[in-house]
């Protein structure tokens, strides 16, 4: 996973069961975080091996994970008999090759988003998995496990607030790397809302438009913020404000508007300070604390083989819609999203 947002640049502010040995490719910010969770917070798992282009970084994570093996070659890690499943958290451009190698080896693989940066790359993965004949690939859209989002989906399913009409999303990061391409706001960040919109409403996105105000003076030439307007096949409108140089902290929230009620998903408030006429809540500096529980539940689900995570088809759809949004951003036009039919392996 390529991290285009600068993490941390802000405010102050086992029980005898079978243990699956996980090989981790990429031990940067996300790979290291996953290794920590697999070692300390997930049952039935151990880090069996790691690979990173930066050998020292790989060694550090291996040591912190109870002495996992350090591999000099990612393909040797995938093929190794002592590795049961693979977690890919390397740079986005490497995902496709590693996922294909895992499918060829018949090993379950959890790949950080994006499944692949191009639609063609994702399609090659769908073809390979279909030829294999069963699902091996999970994509790391961890918000599907966030207790706030799962509550929202469960509440919607009760019918108590009627049919959904609109979803207003806000997604802010404090600071992005200077010179960030404007398209990265969509492919790296808002892609989570593309996935959440499809998942929450169980309906494909059929039309997209992207609007941009005057760019923030802190954005260094990037078109930041952006406003995405997504329409689903079921007729719901989902708007996404993505702002990656918001400076004040990391925040993800949304409000669902339905026929007879609304539901708000707010930033979880671990602490609230009341002082000198002020009532303030602490915000995290990046997504790791905000979605810590979602990451843990996602990994536990993957290890247990419960299969609630995003499939390769979901990864394909996210990249497909993201590409349509990038086209809309660049042309200023609305785009109809004409996704191919869902292959049989992924039909529910």
Residue 134 is given by DSSP the state: S
- Which residue in 65, 90, 138, 188 binds ligand ISE (CB under 6 A)? 188
Interacting positions 207-236 with ligand ISE (CB under 6 A): none
Q: At its nearest, how many Å lie between ligand ISE and the CB of residue 242?
A: 8
Under rule CB under 6 A, residue 46 binds ligand ISE: no
Of the candidates 338, 307, 341, 335, the residue with the CA atom closest to the CA atom of residue 126: 341
- 247 within 8 A of 194, measured Cβ to Cβ: no
Under rule CB under 6 A, residue 240 binds ligand ISE: no
Which residue's beta carbon is nearest to the bound ligand ISE? Answer: 189
- 44 within 8 A of 304, measured Cβ to Cβ: yes
State both tokens at 163. Answer: 């049919």
Q: At its nearest, how many Å lie between ligand ISE and the CB of residue 190?
A: 8
- Which residue in 173, 187, 226, 245 binds ligand ISE (CB under 6 A)? 173
Number of residues that bind ligand ISE (CB under 6 A): 8
Q: At its nearest, how many Å lie between ligand ISE and the CB of residue 174?
A: 10
Cis before 225? omega within 30: yes
Of the candidates 36, 119, 46, the residue with the CA atom closest to the CA atom of residue 84: 46
Residue number, 6 or 80, with CB nearest to ligand ISE: 6
Residue number, 84 or 146, with CB nearest to ligand ISE: 146
Residue number, 71 or 291, with CB nearest to ligand ISE: 291
Q: At its nearest, how many Å lie between ligand ISE and the CB of residue 88?
A: 14
- Which residue in 287, 295, 313, 316 binds ligand ISE (CB under 6 A)? 287
State both tokens at 269. Answer: 């408030």
Q: At its nearest, how many Å lie between ligand ISE and the CB of residue 70?
A: 25
Q: Strand (E) positions, the chain? A: 20-25, 45-51, 69-70, 85-88, 109-111, 137-139, 164-172, 205-211, 226-232, 237-243, 251-258, 262-265, 272-275, 278-281, 335-336
Of the candidates 141, 137, 112, the residue with the CA atom closest to the CA atom of residue 124: 137
- Which residue in 3, 130, 282, 327 binds ligand ISE (CB under 6 A)? 3
Interacting positions 91-130 with ligand ISE (CB under 6 A): none
Binding site for ligand ISE (CB under 6 A): 3-5, 173, 188-189, 192, 287
């Amino acid at each position: 996973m390529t991290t285009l947002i600068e993490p941390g640049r802000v405010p102050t502010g086992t029980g005898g069961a079978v243990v699956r040995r996980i090989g981790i490719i990429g031990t940067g910010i996300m790979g290291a975080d996953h290794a920590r969770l697999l070692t300390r917070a997930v049952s039935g798992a151990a880090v069996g091996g790691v690979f990173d282009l930066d050998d020292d970084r790989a060694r550090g994570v291996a040591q912190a994970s109870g002495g996992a093996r350090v591999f000099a070659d990612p393909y040797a890690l995938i093929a190794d008999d002592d590795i049961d499943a693979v977690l890919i958290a390397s740079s986005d451009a490497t995902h496709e090759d590693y996922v294909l190698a895992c499918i060829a080896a018949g090993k379950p693989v959890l790949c950080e988003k994006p499944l692949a940066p191009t639609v063609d790359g994702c399609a090659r993965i769908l073809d390979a998995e279909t030829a294999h004949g069963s699902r091996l690939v999970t994509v790391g859209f961890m918000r599907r496990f966030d207790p706030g989002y799962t509550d929202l989906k469960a509440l919607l399913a009760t019918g108590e607030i009627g049919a959904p009409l609109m979803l207003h999303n806000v997604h802010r990061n404090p600071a992005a790397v200077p010179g960030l391409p404007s398209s990265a706001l969509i492919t790296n960040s808002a892609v989570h809302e593309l996935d959440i919109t499809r998942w929450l409403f169980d309906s494909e996105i059929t039309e997209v438009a992207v609007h941009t105000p005057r760019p923030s003076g802190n954005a260094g030439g990037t078109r930041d913020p952006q406003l995405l307007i997504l329409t689903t096949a079921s007729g719901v409108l989902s708007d996404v404000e993505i702002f990656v140089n918001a400076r004040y902290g990391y925040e993800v929230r949304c409000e669902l508007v339905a026929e007879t009620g609304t539901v708000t998903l707010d930033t979880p408030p671990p602490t609230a300070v009341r002082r000198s006429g002020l009532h303030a809540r602490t915000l995290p500096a990046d997504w790791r604390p905000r979605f810590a529980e979602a990451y843990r539940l996602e990994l536990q689900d993957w290890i247990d083989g419960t299969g609630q995570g995003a499939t390769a088809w979901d990864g394909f759809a996210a990249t497909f819609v993201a590409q349509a949004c990038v086209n809309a951003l660049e042309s200023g036009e609305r785009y109809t999203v004409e996704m191919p039919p869902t292959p049989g392996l992924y039909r529910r």
